[in-house]
Structure 1
Amino acid sequence: LSRLAKKMKKISRASQEKTSDISSKLSEIFTNIEIIKANNAQEFEHAKFTDENAKFFKLNLKSVKVNEMVSPMMEIFGSVGVAAVVIIGGKEVIDGNLTMGSFFSFLTALFMLYTPIKRISGLYNKMQDAVVAAERTFELLDKEPQILSGDKPVPSEINLINFKDVRLNYDDKEVLKGINLSASKSQTVALVGSSGGGKSSIVNLLMRFYDANGGAIEINGENIKNFDLGSLRQNIGLVTQRVYIFNDTVANNVAYGREYDEAKVELALKTANAYDFVSNLPEGAQTVLNEFGTNLSGGQRQRIAIARALYDDPQILIFDEATSALDNESEQQITKAIANLQKEKIIFIIAHRLSTVQNADKIAVISGGKVVGFDTDEALSKSCEIYAKLKGEALV
């Protein structure tokens, strides 16, 4: 039974890992259903899923085989045991060492004991599933978080953010190679450059989605690692290119994770240039959005995401390609809204379209993980070849 249990444990672990793979694959398929249909890849994905499912079926088949071996084994051992008792006990009775009553009492007790033992043996094998599940759960629970929170609250007034020789590695590959830049209160800093240069990595470090491998990021002269993680992120509003919409009302999407305030929702929607289209929805801000916001256009989803970032009036705002899905008119209105917000905030903008960033106070040109230029639009146009080239491409 012990040998079977070890085999069962091994199969159970493989089976649970395969279940995880299948769940992940299904989630990927449902999330990217439009791309799959657009590329006529239904049969391709069906074949991949069928292959994964077949592997899962084989593992379950092995599990059933091992489980079903327990009952016949117990029957065999039980029969051998009873036969041994009858032979030995019968001999003892014949020899006069044991009375007939004692022998049958023992035999009756043995039969009564057999069924519970058989059930326990079957349960022992089935428990291996639970043991493996518990081990997998505790493997996750026992993992130490890589990002450790500090204990200081973020200052009520953030005046300066400094990146000092910040370095970052991904899988032994150096992505950021000594970033030096700063942003002051009431200032907008734009990050521009070709894809893969490290722009998003810079703001992700500010959010502490991961920590730098070298250098430091400081707020008012204090390393951000010393600040409470919740307090830090509460003071930063983030809008990314990939928009997340929850299957809930517009209002709850805007106030997501925070205490609901109707006045704050309305103000955030107006600032994000979303109030007009939200008012025209069947139930206004109380309209329930589909999963992933499929009953909204791409630009509308993006404006909801911008409103969410503005809801708590954070001191720092990060727009990572936040206007990429907007038409020119909406983009201009959002740009005006950002200009109004600038009076009391520090704003970081990442954009490929230079029209979005030309009015920024400072523009950091990122190339190959380094800041190759950090100045105004006018100055960079003259002094930075990479920026001048980007600007020329934008005009074309």
Structure 2
Amino acid sequence: MTASTTRRGFGIVATGVREERRRFSLAVFGSVVYGAMTVADAWVLGWATDHVVTPSFRDGELATGAAVVASLLFVTVAILRAWGVIVRRLVGGAVFYRLLASYRRRVTRRYLALPMRWHAAHPTGRLLSNANADVEATWAVMMPLPMAVGVAAMLVAAVGAMLMADVVLTLVGLVVFPLLFAVNVGYQRLLSPRVTRAQELRATVSAIAHESFDGAQVVKTLGRESEETARFATSAEDLRDANIAAGRIRSVFDPVIEALPNIAVLLVVVIGVERVLAGDIEAGAVVQVAYLFTVVGFPLRAFGWVLGELPRTVVGWDRVDSVLQARGDMPYGDRDLPAPSDHDSSTSGVNGDADSRRNSTNRGRGARLEVDGLRFGYDPARPVLDDLTFTVEPGSVTAVVGLTGAGKSTLASLVDRLVDPDAGAVRLDGTDVRDLSHEALARAVALVPQHTFVFDDTVRDNVALGAGADDERVWSALEVAQAAEFVSTLPEGLDTRLGERGTSLSGGQRQRVALARALVREPRLLVLDDATSALDADVEQRILRSLAATTAAGAGPTVFVVAYRKATIALADEVLFLADGRIVDRGPHTDLVARSPEYAEIVQAYDTEAAT
């Protein structure tokens, strides 16, 4: 392990200590008590040898008073030492698990704050590893740390007690300490790269496993089970080999670290016997020094445990910190990011309170959407959308039509600010969405994507989803989404659990539940990104007519829909015809059909494809 790794590792440890200062201090105090009582136990053993054991052999009878005193001393020391162990382990464990919980919350909060562009570049398996294995690796060092700090105090006390007992025997035994240090250094140098490699492979195994499970349907339908199994097995075997390599190093280190204190004890006993026979010291001094070397041998390993965890600490911290410090292309600006702490942070932003009040006042009224000079590209050199400018009037229905790859879904993501534009602006009632707080934007805009997600929860909780909606509002949203009929036939109605990812529902039913989820929040702008693709044409028509009726009455949201079916497009007040990232034409559907052969051909192709 390099000096840099050691220095960085202890710096990370210092961060954890600062965050759990009181509990860590109490755990260290318990460890110090344990160490002090261990040294006191050696002193009591030496005192009992000189005042109870030796006189009993010499006089042929037991000194009762001295024996009682020795017994009380042993019991007192044992109780205090047990208390120290309990405090160290209980409070030290609390420090470790509190740090795990704290950093897992921070990582997941940051995931929610980061833009979809960032998530697209980071596999889900790696994100799971960041929040789980990497956080655990970062703070695993905190488990042995209180003991290691207490051991340092114990060693100082033990060496002092040994020197008071006999200087010569102490110096003889201390010869082993440099050997212990040298063995630890060699151990860390050999173990560090192996532990680092194993930690990296854990993330790889997690990523492959998640990808295989997430794509289970593709794997099974294409008969790729054996290939996926082999791919996972290769990474799992690499992880196994890395762990075995680390285990081999530990298997050599453990016997050596156990043997060295015993060698010290043997030297002390051999030389101590000679000194007792020569009349230089009492037998109790030999027993005391030998016992101290016996008991300090095991706690010395705590230093090795701490040093052994430091490489994992550094690797885990780097991976976790890369998430916590990610700030590029943030969706709500740095001022709205959750602070990297365990406390809930406000996402209101500079205009948050005003935005929330205004949105609350206008709930149910359509918003005015303005897109001005919008430019965006996943690769900056190749824009997906370029120089888009249009306005959607409050309460209107606007459809976006174009070939695959024209940028329709990207435009929907920009309107809901899942990503930010490279140039230009998206405005809601004249306010740039980048100036709106997270809360205000979430209240004003609702996006329903084509691929909907349904939680393993009841219908009620899937629709309300923290919106605080009562059953009346839930049923109202389900009615507009044309979902009330099938929900009412479910075994337990709104209380029916839908299974993981809504497996008990059809694709169209899941889309209607997701639409109801958006509507129950009474958004001012409803963005539908092909959100009715799994529905029958007549069901889709009923949904869109219901939405159009509410918006026409001034009580519903402005609707911005990525559409494919001709009948759906015909319901829109205006159609934006998108091609190669630009608006090539716009207007009512009938006008576009009359003047744009390309548009008419696309819409006709949509209907032909839907019919087949």
1:273, distance to aligned residue in structure 2 (A): 0.4
CA 1:174/1:66 → structure 2, altered by over 3 Å: closer, same or farther? farther
Please say if residues 191 and 363 of structure 1, whose CA atoms lie closer than 8 Å, have aligned partners that are also in contact: yes
SS in 1 for 2:419: coil
Q: In structure 2, what is the equivalent of residue 308 of structure 1? A: 517
Q: Percent identity?
A: 28
Work out whether residues 264 and 293 of structure 2, in 8 Å CA contact, stay in contact via their aligned partners in 1.
no
Q: Which amino acid aligns with 1:169?
A: G
CA distance in 2 between counterparts of 1:9 and 1:175 reads 46
Matched, 1:168 2:376: yes
1:340 to 549, 556, 560: 549
Q: Deviations over 1:72-108 (max 9, x none)?
A: 3424655676688789x78x969x9x76866775455
Residue 234 of structure 1 is matched in structure 2 by 443
**What is the deviation of 1:11?**
3.4
Q: 3-state SS of the aligned residue for 1:357?
A: helix
Paired residue for 2:417? 208
1:270 corresponds to: 479
Shift of 1:176: 1.5
Q: Quote the Cα distance in structure 2 between the aligned partners of 1:45 and 1:222.
A: 49
- What corresponds to 2:561 in structure 1? 349
Cα distance in 1 for partners of 2:602, 2:440 equals 37
Tell me the CA shift for residue 393 of structure 1.
2.1
How many Å separate the matches in 2 of 1:38 and 1:60?
35
Q: Which of 184, 198, 203 is 2:407 aligned to? A: 198
In structure 1, give the amino acid aligned to 2:392: A
Among 557, 569, 589, the alignment partner of 1:377 is: 589
| Among candidates 357, 360, 372, match of residue 572 of structure 2 | 360
Query: In proportion to residue count, which structure has more strand?
Result: 1
CA RMSD of aligned residues (A): 2.9
CA shift in 2, pair 1:86/1:369, >3 Å: farther
**Inter-CA distance 135–308: structure 2 relative to 1 (3 Å threshold):** same
User: Would you say 1:393 and 2:611 are equivalent positions?
Assistant: no
Provide closer, same or farther for how the CA distance between residues 238 and 113 of structure 1 changes in structure 2, counting only shifts above 3 A. same
Q: Please tell me the residue identity of whatever aligns with 1:390.
A: I
Task: Tell me which residue corresponds to 1:151.
Answer: 350
C-alpha distance in 1, partners of 2:186/2:427?
Answer: 58
Q: Cα offset for 1:326? A: 0.6
What displacement does 1:254 show? 0.6
CA distances 1:177-216 after superposition (whole Å, capped 9, x unpaired)? 1111110101111111111211111121121112111111
2:223 pairs, out of 34, 37, 40, with 40
Deviations 1:256-288 (A, max 9, x none): 132141111100111100111111111111111
Q: Which has the larger radius of gyration?
A: 2
Q: Which amino acid aligns with 2:603?
A: K
Change (3 A) 1:63 1:272: same
Whole-Å separation in 2 of the counterparts to 1:370 and 1:5:
60
Structure 1 188/50 Cα, relative in aligned 2: closer, same or farther at 3 Å? same
CA distance in 2, matches of 1:185, 1:163: 14
Give me the whole-angstrom Cα distance separating, in 2, the residues matched to 1:7 and 1:219: 60
Q: Is residue 67–residue 122 contact of structure 1 (8 Å, CA) maintained in 2?
A: no
Aligned length: 394
CA distance in 2, matches of 1:211, 1:14: 37
TM-fit CA distance, 1:14: 3.4
Which has the bigger relative contact order, CA under 8 A and spacing at least 6?
1
CA contact (8 A) 1:15 1:59 kept: yes
Paired amino acid for 2:432: N
Please report how far the alpha carbon of residue 10 of structure 1 lies from its aligned counterpart in structure 2 after TM superposition: 3.9
- 2:367, 2:295 → 1: CA distance? 80
Q: Give the conservation status (yes or no) of the 8 Å contact 1:252–1:260.
A: no
Q: Would you say the 8 A contact 2:262–2:294 is kept in 1?
A: no
What does 1:87-102 align with in structure 2 at a 5 Å threshold?
none
Q: Mean Cα displacement is larger for which, 344-353 or 141-150?
A: 141-150
Range moving further from structure 2, 220-229 or 273-282: 220-229
Q: Which residue of 2 aligns with 1:112?
A: 295
- Per the TM alignment, residue 364 of structure 1 is displaced from its structure 2 partner at its CA by 1.0
Q: Which residue number corresponds to residue 187 of structure 1? A: 396
CA gap of 1:24–1:315, structure 2 versus 1, over 3 A, is same
Q: Which runs of 5+ in 1 are unaligned?
A: none
Q: Does 1:67 align with 2:266?
A: no
Q: Helix, strand or coil for the counterpart of 2:497?
A: coil
> What is the letter of the counterpart of residue 389 of structure 1?
E
Contact preservation (8 Å) 1:192, 1:366: yes
Pair 244,7 (structure 1): closer, same or farther in 2 beyond 3 Å: farther
Structure 1 contact 380–388 (Cα < 8 Å) conserved: yes
Partners of 2:442 and 2:295 lie apart in 1 by 65
**d(CA) in 2 for partners of 1:85 and 1:139?**
52
Write 1 or 2 for the structure with the bigger share of helix.
Answer: 2
Secondary structure, aligned partner of 2:377: strand
Distance across 1 between alignment mates of 2:460 and 2:311: 47
Corresponding residue number in structure 2 for 1:219 = 428
Q: SS where residue 251 of structure 1 aligns?
A: helix
Is the alpha carbon distance of 1:284 and 1:159 closer, same or farther for their aligned partners in structure 2, counting shifts above 3 Å? closer
- Segments of 5+ residues of structure 2 without an aligned counterpart are 1-183, 337-348
Q: Structure 1 stretch 127-136 or stretch 301-310: which is displaced more?
A: 127-136
- Of 209-218 and 113-122, more deviation after overlay is shown by 113-122
**Cα shift at 1:113:** 2.4
What are the superposed Cα offsets for residues 22-56 of structure 1, whole Å, 9 maximum, x if unpaired? 33333333333222222122222222222222122
